[in-house]
Structures are given as C-alpha cells and as structure tokens.
Amino acid sequence: MVRIDVGQCFLLGFRGLDIPDWLRTFAASYGLGGVILFDFNCQTRTYQNNIDSPDQVRALCADITALPSRPLVFVDQEGGRVCRLKSARGFAPLPSQQVFNELSDSDKRRLAADSFCELRRLGFHYNLAPVIDLNLNPMNPDIGAIGRSYSNDPDAVRANVRILNDVAHDAGIGLSLKHFPGLGGAIQNSHHDLTDVSCTITDEQLRLFYDLGHSLVGDSVVVSHGIVHQWEADRPVSMSSIAIGKLRQRIPDALLISDDLQMQGLQKKYSTREAVELGLRAGLDLLCIGNNLMPEDEEALTHAQYLTEDALANPILADRVEQGCQRVLRAKARFA
C-alpha cells in the first residue's frame, strides 16, 4: 500500500503547456497528491510556462484531474504581483492584498467572487492564499515591499480572511494560509536565503494561524522555511517536528503544505531528496516541488522511489506517509 500512497504526499510542478511523460508515469506508479501551475518560467526568465489562456488552462486542469489518483490542482493567486492568472491573458483581475485591504467590503466580495468562481470554472481546487503574514517590516523584499501583506493590524487581516473564506466556501475553492509562522518581519527574501524570524515572531502573528486555521475552507496551511531558533536552532520550520508540532497541536486536521522545497534558501542546507524525507518526518502532509526554480523534473520519480523504500523499512515513516495521504484524500473528497 505504501508504494501507491507515497505519491499522494507530493505537490509537483512541470514546465510547458502539456503534461510531460514523467508526470504521467509518477501518477500511475505512486499516485499524486497535486499539481501546481505557474505562468513564469524561472529557467528561461519568460512568461512561457503552464498558463497561456483561459481555454488552455481549463483543458490542462481537466487533463491533470484525469490522471491516476485524480490529483488536485493548485495555483498561487494572491493578487497583485503574485497572480499566476494575469488579466492581460484574459483572467479576472485581482489587486494586491495591500490594495485589497483598502477597498470597501462590497468591492472585496465582488473581486474575490470573480476570481474564485473563475478558478473553479477553470478546474482549480486550491488557491495557495491568503498571505496572513503581518506587515512588520514594510521593506521586506518578499512581503511588505511588494504588497503581499494586508496590514500590520491583526484585526484587519482577520476581517479580510473572513470575507475570502465566505466567498471561497460559495465558490468551492480551498484556501491555504501562508507562510507559517509568519515572514512579515523578515529582512531577507526567503526565496534566496534561509530567513531568520526568531526576533520578529509575535503571539499575535501565531494566533492568526491558530485561530483562522480552524474555520478555513480547505483546512490548509503553507509552512515556510523560516528559522525560529527558540523552537529549534538552525532548523527551518518546514523541517522541524517541534515547530510543526505547535501548529498540529492547535489545528490537528489541517493539511500542511511545504513552501517550495527548491527555494534557494532551503537548498543551501538540504538537497531536495533530503528535504522530502525530513519534511515528512517533521509532520508535513504535502511536499511542494515546483520544478520551476530548479530543473529537477524527472528526479521526482527517484524521490518517490527512495521514500517508498525508506517507508517500507521504517514503520514510523510509513505511518507519517499514511497520515499525510489520508489528509490529502480528505481534501480530494471535498474539492476534486
């Protein structure tokens, strides 16, 4: 059973407009939890990747869902700079979260409904949003400086998430809070460096994840590669059983998704293969390997094979695979 289940713990990306043979083989051999789509190709530095037009995306999502084990389809559609489905290509517009925060409630509901209903029509199951990192450092190159945070006010963040949650419920789209435990106060860009947030994590920030996670449509949290030394020195949160245990204790049934394991900050400490096993052992359910930041596409098959062998030899790891698999299957039963 482990062999077919292990792939349920992977959220994979690929390059191009068509499903590659290696991904079809992966789904047939191991099952597949999900697929994530991108518009920008980080290898060629062009907007020529998985997303071209609404009709093309609808057909691609249908093809993905038809793969063995019926993978979920994910996208980052936060708004503003982080919109994989851009209005210039015919998709519904969505402003940055910073701008969204300043709108009237009626405008917020209208824009969110236009976007989320479109996501569902296209065949997406999860939007990897909203960002609930408090804007503690407006110069943060990955959050505050590019408008990805609603506010430094927890009450404002809560109000925005409640609106999105209501709209997502009606649209049938899962949401995912990010980036636990909160990257808003960081100085570094977490895409490039391991981000130390030891001195910027606040009780207010943590309560946002713990409180909002209980009622979120999709029951999902993206776990960052930030480091909190007082939890576990020198180990990223995504690889830390102590850090993930704090989240799991408060939201026991949540689907916990890694931030992309190919982000360069994490890669400076662990290879993708190492991160796969460490992340699962720490308590993650779904391991994101976007295959956009690094050209490791077909290596996913090797990762799954090694993980299968390790799980067959290690009952504790096999149990973790099974737990992750069951949470993914619950999400599939709800949204797919």
- Residue 281 maps to which CATH number? 3.20.20.300
CA dihedral 96, 98, 104, 110 (to 10 degrees): 20
If pLDDT is split at 50, 70 and 90, which confidence band does 234 have? confident
pTM, two decimal places = 0.97
> CA 104, CA 282: separation in Å to the nearest integer?
41
Angle between helices 241-250 and 272-282 (to 10 degrees): 40
pLDDT at residue 2 in the model: 55
pLDDT at residue 336 in the model: 87
Residue 191 has pLDDT above 90, yes or no: no
If pLDDT is split at 50, 70 and 90, which confidence band does 192 have? confident
pLDDT at residue 187 in the model: 84
> CA 253, CA 124: separation in Å to the nearest integer?
22
Residue 188 has pLDDT above 80, yes or no: no
pLDDT at residue 5 in the model: 86
Rounded average pLDDT over 148-153: 98
pLDDT at residue 295 in the model: 87
pLDDT at residue 227 in the model: 95
pLDDT at residue 194 in the model: 86
Give the percent of the chain with pLDDT over 70: 99
Whether the Cβ atoms of residue 127 and residue 168 lie closer than 8 Å to each other: yes
Domain count for the chain, please give it: 1
What's the domain range around 57?
2-335
Alpha helix (H) ranges present in 172-295?
A: 203-212, 241-250, 264-267, 272-282
Which of 117-121, 190-194, 249-253, 321-325 shows the lowest per-residue confidence on average (mean pLDDT)? 190-194
If pLDDT is split at 50, 70 and 90, which confidence band does 19 have? very high
Smallest Cα–Cα separation from 258: which of 277, 285, 233? Answer: 285
The sheet with strand 177-180 has its strands ordered as 177-180, 220-223, 255-258
pLDDT at residue 179 in the model: 97
Rounded average pLDDT over 71-99: 98
If pLDDT is split at 50, 70 and 90, which confidence band does 3 have? low
Residue 1 has pLDDT above 60, yes or no: no
If pLDDT is split at 50, 70 and 90, which confidence band does 74 have? very high
Token reading at 249: 């204790």
HSE, CB side, 13 Å, CA atoms: give it for residue 48: 4
Other CB atoms within 10 A of residue 102 CB: 12
Q: What is the pLDDT of residues 122-139, one digit of tens each?
A: 999 999 999 999 999 999
pLDDT at residue 190 in the model: 67
Residue corresponding to tokens 């057909």: 59
Rounded average pLDDT over 18-26: 98
Question: Can you name the residues that pair with 175 across neighbouring β-strands?
Answer: 127
Token reading at 32: 């597949």
pLDDT at residue 328 in the model: 98
DSSP conformational letter for 131: B
Token reading at 7: 């792939």
CA dihedral 284, 300, 1, 31 (to 10 degrees): 90
pLDDT at residue 4 in the model: 59
Rounded average pLDDT over 204-223: 96
Token reading at 267: 């890669």
Token reading at 156: 């404002």
Amino acid, res. 110: R
**Mean pLDDT, all residues of the chain:** 96
